[in-house]
């Protein structure tokens, strides 16, 4: 009955019946089964394709967000460091630029698989360009990891090496101030030496409006060292000479590290700026 309602289909089954000897009803049942089976396979294939496409889209959206976070933080860090580098100074007690920089996106980006990344991003047009962009992404992530580790090492170095020098310098400055309080009671072979010492300390009292290292070295330690060289045989100068020499050594180390940290900060600015700019370009390529 179903076959009588569809003449073309009936002719098809009659043709098969003539050449195979199989009844039309049997052929209809077999064809229907094959059609349903094929339709099921096609539906599953379409569903899997759509699911894979959705997963790739969600993966790209997540990774894009992490890369944008990395780019934005690098942007903020290099702008902040550019503003502060001229004021950053160990010898002036200005250390804003030595704070630790933590990037919350890096732990997640470090877990990315390169092959999965390629399968999600290298599609459509300009695939060669996208492959280059993908390689650049992983290279920039590696640089960001090095920067974060390097900052931690520099901060640990500062705390372990420079801070003790600063503490020793301050300790000697306090002892020199104690020496100043006792200076009027001290007796020297050459009274003019005592007058010149009093003059240096009096000038120091006027000049040290703050307690940074540069001010104390310029207006107290340096004049003391110059004066002490002129009286090598004066026994009363042994203690003040020792304190002044220790301050000179500590100040030299602090100054050396001040240059070292500035050089590191310049490198830090350059690399953060580079990561930000290249990631911005890469994200435009992936989104095109």
pLDDT per residue over 191-246, tens digit each? Answer: 899 999 999 999 998 887 777 899 999 999 999 999 999 988 777 788 999 999 99
With H, G, I as helix, E, B as strand and everything else as coil, classify residue 281: helix
- pLDDT above 50: residue 65: yes
pLDDT at 245: 95
Query: Could you give the CA distance from residue 227 to residue 229 in angstroms, rounded to a whole number?
Result: 5
Q: At what angle do helices 114-121 and 24-84 cross, to 10 degrees?
A: 110
Which pLDDT band holds residue 45 (cuts at 50, 70, 90)?
Answer: low
pLDDT greater at residue 21 or residue 133 = 133
By the 8 A CB rule, do 129 and 189 touch? no
Taking the C-alpha atoms of residue 190 and residue 234, their distance in angstroms, rounded to an integer, is 8
d(CA 258, CA 265): 11
Report the C-alpha gap between 229 and 221 in whole angstroms: 12
pLDDT at 1 over 70: no
Residue 12 domain-assigned (yes or no):
no
- Give the pLDDT band of residue 277 (cuts 50, 70, 90): very high
In a domain, 44, yes or no: no
Nearest-angstrom CA–CA distance, 29 and 7: 17
CA 194 to chain centre: 55
Q: What is the pLDDT of residue 48?
A: 63
Domain membership of residue 235 (yes or no) is: yes
Q: What is the pTM of this model?
A: 0.71
- Assigned domain for 74 exists: yes
Q: Within its chain, how far is the Cα of 118 from the centroid? A: 25
Q: Please check whether residue 43 lies inside any domain of the structure.
A: no
Per the CB < 8 A criterion, the answer to whether 91 and 258 are in contact is yes
Is the pLDDT score of 5 beyond 80?
no
User: pLDDT: is 110 or 22 the higher one?
Assistant: 110
* The pLDDT of residue 24: 56
Q: Which residue has the higher pLDDT, 34 or 76?
A: 76
The answer to whether residue 276 sits within a structural domain is: yes
Range of the domain at 78: 58-288
Q: Per the structure, how many domains does the chain have?
A: 1
Q: How confident is the model at residue 3 (pLDDT cuts 50, 70, 90)?
A: very low
Task: Please give the share of the chain, as a percent, with pLDDT higher than 70.
Answer: 80
CA distance 27 to 23: 6
Chain mean pLDDT for the chain: 83
- In contact, 151 and 269? CB cutoff 8 Å: no
Residue 18 above 90 pLDDT? no
- Residue 70 located in a structural domain: yes
Residue 57 has pLDDT above 90, yes or no: no
**Count of CB atoms within 10 A of residue 283's CB?**
17
Mean pLDDT: which of 84-88, 171-175, 187-191, 262-266 is highest?
Answer: 171-175
Q: How confident is the model at residue 108 (pLDDT cuts 50, 70, 90)?
A: very high
User: In this predicted structure, which of 78-87, 103-112, 128-137, 265-274 has the lowest mean pLDDT?
Assistant: 78-87
Instruction: Please tell me which residue, 84 or 26, carries the higher pLDDT value.
Output: 84
* Residue tagged 């690399």 (tokens): 271
Which of 270, 271, 286, 265 is CA-nearest to residue 66? 286
Residue 3 phi/psi, 5° resolution? -70, -35
Give 161's pLDDT tier (boundaries 50, 70, 90): confident
Sequence-distant (6+) residues with CB within 8 A of 42 are none
**pLDDT reported for residue 27:** 56
Distance CA 261, CA 185 (A): 44
**Helix, strand or coil for residue 94?**
strand
CA neighbours closer than 13 Å in the CB half-sphere of residue 89? 11
Residue 4 pLDDT level (bands cut at 50, 70, 90): very low
Sorted by sequence, the CB contacts under 8 Å of residue 195 that are 6+ apart come out as none
* pLDDT on residue 52: 63
């Amino acid at each position: 009955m179903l076959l009588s309602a569809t003449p073309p289909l009936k002719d098809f089954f009659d043709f098969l019946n003539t050449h195979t000897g199989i009844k039309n009803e049997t052929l209809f049942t077999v064809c229907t089964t094959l059609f349903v089976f094929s339709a099921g396979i096609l539906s599953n294939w379409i569903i899997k394709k759509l699911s894979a496409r959705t997963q790739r889209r969600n993966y790209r959206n997540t990774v894009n967000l992490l890369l944008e976070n990395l780019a934005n933080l690098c942007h903020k860090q290099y702008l902040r460091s550019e503003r502060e580098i001229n004021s950053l100074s160990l010898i002036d007690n200005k250390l804003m630029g030595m704070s630790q920089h933590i990037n919350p996106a890096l732990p997640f980006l470090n877990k990315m698989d390169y092959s999965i990344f390629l399968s999600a991003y290298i599609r459509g047009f300009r695939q060669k360009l996208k492959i280059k962009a993908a390689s650049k992404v992983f290279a920039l992530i590696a640089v960001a990891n090095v920067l974060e580790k390097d900052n931690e090492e520099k901060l640990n170095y500062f705390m372990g090496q420079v801070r003790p020098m600063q503490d020793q310098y301050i300790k000697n400055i306090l002892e020199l101030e104690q020496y100043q309080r006792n200076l009027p009671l001290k007796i020297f072979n050459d009274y003019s030496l005592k007058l010149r010492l009093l003059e240096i300390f009096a000038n120091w009292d006027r000049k040290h409006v703050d307690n940074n290292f540069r001010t104390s070295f310029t207006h107290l330690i340096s004049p003391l060292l110059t004066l002490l060289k002129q009286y090598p045989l004066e026994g009363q100068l042994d203690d003040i000479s020792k304190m002044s020499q220790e301050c000179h050594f500590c100040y030299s180390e602090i100054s050396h590290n001040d240059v070292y940290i500035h050089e590191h900060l310049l490198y830090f600015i350059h690399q953060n700026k580079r990561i930000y700019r290249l990631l911005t370009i890469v994200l435009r390529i992936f989104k095109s």
